Amino acid sequence: MKKIMKKYLYILTAVLAGFSLASCSEFLDEENRNFLSDDILLSDPTALDQLVAHGYNKLRDATTYYDLDHQGTDIFTRRDIIAGISELNDYVNFRPANGSVQAYWTNYYKVISGANIALTRADEVQGISDSDKSRGIGEAKFLRAYSYFHLVENFGGVPLVLEEITTAQTAFYRATEQEVYAQIILDLDDALAGVDESPALFGRASKDAVRHLKAKVLLSRGYKDFGTAQDFADAAALAETVISRHPLVGNFNDLVSRENQRNGEVIFSLLYGNNPVSRGFGNNRHLLFKFVYDVYPGQVRSTLYHRGLGRAPTPFFFDLFEEGDQREEATIRRLMIAEVNSADGTVAKGDTSIYFPKVAWPQAKIDSKIYAVFNPNQYFTPDGLTQVHFPMFRKFDDPGVPYTNPGINPDGERDAILMRGGETRLIAAEAYLQSGNSAKAAEHINALRDRAGLSSMVSAGEVDIDMILDESAIEMAGEVSRWMDLKRTGKLQERVLEYNPHAALNNAIKPYHSLRPIPQAEIDVSGETISQNEGYN
């Protein structure tokens, strides 16, 4: 896929410009020697590949905006003192004009638009082999299904746009949730028939990526009033197939290592790399869940620690890690080492500069240290230098990538792993639990615990949905949409009020918040043919 993106992004602008300029030819009096007609562009057998690559690129944009995936959940909250209000995290005055809601909607519909262009034009591409055409159509339908799944879970029924739009349109109507799910399943079945079992280029959607996504879609549908028990059984069966082909990496630290990011557990990734042309905006996961550390003695704006984006793990998240769980050290950084000598000479480069004990230290012990120490109950208490401070995430670290300020491309080079076998195990566990097979559910949870170095395993009788959500929080933190997991299982309101300190303070989340507001701009542009979700009128 790295090779794909390098090749496609060079020529994609010309492809899309050609589609646009074709309708403007009568406006130009002079001969346009740079003009490329659709006929010329589509005479290239690789044209479909190029258009599908555009869809992959748009998916990079869509999966880079995390606000709706992370904030307002049990394990992630806003990076502020526990005061004030927030629309997105605290559900206070959550309005249809919210910018994060608009960005989420827009970015996923851009993926759908790219997929629709590829699907509409597939039959026009000349000289393309049947196998290449089938694969391209399959990949486009996979991208479309992935996008509609995220839209339907966040917004409920949304407009189903299934063809390239070539003229100005405003009248769009929301399909029902059931209709959107039916289209997602239809697209995934077509994708499964079209994509390769083992793609020649890493980064293309494989049959296992389709199976993994379909398992998650069926699992989600099973909870709904139009779902059935068969959805859970089918989700478990699909997950088992993927698990057999994507075994867990033996060590969690190896799994999250940048040097080992393309391993057998990975099912589907979006690629970035060190080429500034093909990388585009860049992956920004290395910026997630970090505080303003560089104001402390011995610290400086760092190409290891980087700056942080505006969200924080909740105290509950840190409490989830059991003693001896190797995922804790691989996921978070309790010890920060000074990168420079402090100006006052108290902290030398290489010394401890900040420490977050897992178990609270007595004040006398803290006072005896020259470095900053923050007990677990002090993460959201100002200390005169920063308002909040907490063990920062390290699982997404991208050492050597330049420190960048807000508004500047993050230029992260790591792959963005969207699907891996660890999550497939959790999908299987939840599907088996809902099917009444707690023993199989425990088997998959224990596989993750064993990989994490834990000696205590869970029994079938101990497995419930809260245990699975806790295990998912530890295993998949920051990698998947936590909000969608809580919404799917019907645990959003309960766990947000219990574990998110800012949302609990405001006590504003209601059952209707299991859907986001439809962006007001979309309603306005449609002439109100698109209706608003209940509670947001």
HEC readout, 48-110:
HHHHHHHHHHHHHHHCCCCHHHHCCCCCEECCCCCCCCCHHHHCCCCCCCCHHHHHHHHHHHH
Helices (H) and strands (E) in the chain, counts: 22, 9
Taking a C-beta distance cutoff of 8 angstroms, is the pair 163, 120 a contact?
yes
DSSP reduced 3-state for 373: strand
pLDDT recorded at residue 255:
97
How is residue 537 written in tokens?
A: 């009128």
pLDDT recorded at residue 5:
36
Cα–Cα distance measured from residue 159 to residue 173, given in angstroms and rounded to the nearest whole number: 5
DSSP reduced 3-state for 412: strand
pLDDT recorded at residue 404:
87
> Rounded to the nearest 5°, which phi and psi values hold at 100?
-65, -35
pLDDT recorded at residue 71:
96
Cα–Cα distance measured from residue 486 to residue 306, given in angstroms and rounded to the nearest whole number: 30
Cα–Cα distance measured from residue 141 to residue 117, given in angstroms and rounded to the nearest whole number: 11
pLDDT recorded at residue 12:
32
- DSSP per position, 258-319: GGG-S-TTEEEEE---S-HHHHTT-B-GGGSS----TTSTT--S-TTT----S-EE-HHHHH
The residues near 486 (Cβ < 8 Å, ≥ 6 apart) are: 73, 74, 469, 492, 495, 496
Q: Would you tell me how many other CB atoms lie within 10 Å of the CB of residue 43?
A: 13
Cα–Cα distance measured from residue 200 to residue 208, given in angstroms and rounded to the nearest whole number: 14
Taking a C-beta distance cutoff of 8 angstroms, is the pair 282, 306 a contact?
no
What is the crossing angle of helices 482-489 and 207-222, to 10°?
Answer: 40
Query: What dihedral do alpha carbons 289, 294, 296, 300 form, nearest 10°?
Result: 140
DSSP state of 322: P
The residues near 302 (Cβ < 8 Å, ≥ 6 apart) are: 294, 339, 403
Q: What angle do CA 50, 52, 54 make, to 5 degrees?
A: 75
Residue type, 65: Y
pLDDT recorded at residue 309:
72
pLDDT recorded at residue 38:
76
pLDDT recorded at residue 167:
86
Q: What angle do CA 151, 152, 156 make, to 5 degrees?
A: 120
Query: What dihedral do alpha carbons 498, 504, 510, 513 form, nearest 10°?
Result: -90
Taking a C-beta distance cutoff of 8 angstroms, is the pair 190, 176 a contact?
no
Q: What angle do CA 400, 403, 408 make, to 5 degrees?
A: 125
Entry pTM: 0.92
H helix or E strand, kind and range, residue 397 = none
The residues near 386 (Cβ < 8 Å, ≥ 6 apart) are: 291, 292, 293, 295, 296
Per-residue pLDDT of the chain (537 residues; tens, 9 = 90+): 333 333 333 223 233 333 333 333 332 333 443 455 677 778 889 999 999 999 999 999 999 999 999 999 999 999 999 999 999 999 999 999 999 999 999 999 999 999 999 999 999 999 999 999 999 999 999 999 999 999 999 999 999 999 999 888 888 999 999 999 999 999 999 999 999 999 999 999 999 999 999 999 999 999 999 999 999 999 999 999 999 999 999 999 999 999 999 999 999 999 999 998 889 889 999 999 999 999 999 999 999 999 877 799 999 999 999 999 999 999 999 999 999 999 999 999 999 999 999 999 999 999 999 999 999 999 999 999 999 999 999 999 999 999 988 888 999 999 999 999 999 999 999 999 999 999 999 999 999 999 999 999 999 999 999 999 999 999 999 999 999 999 999 999 999 999 999 999 999 999 999 999 999 999 999 999 999 999 997
